[in-house]
Amino acid sequence: MNTEVIQNPRHLVKGKEQKAKMDCTPIKGHSYVYWYYKKPGEELKFLVYFQNADIIDKT
């Protein structure tokens, strides 16, 4: 099973209080997307979970 997603831009760094926009498109046939973020030296933290185009859970 291919689990590829297309994220644009691939990496993004912004300062505190700066807005950011990233697009994430799963490959055809997949309907779930989980996003996490990671700060240097810290563990991954859950950000948001989408099913199709609907937000299911976010922190």
DSSP at 27: P
* Coil, strand or helix at 41: coil
| Structure-derived torsion over alpha carbons of residues 29, 57, 25, 16, reported in degrees to the nearest 10 | -170
Q: How far apart are CA 11 and CA 16, in angstroms?
A: 16
pTM: 0.51
More confident residue, 55 or 23: 23
pLDDT of residue 44: 93
Extents of the domains making up the chain: 5-58
Counted residue by residue, the chain has a size of 59
Q: Are strands 32-37 and 5-8 parallel, antiparallel or unpaired?
A: unpaired
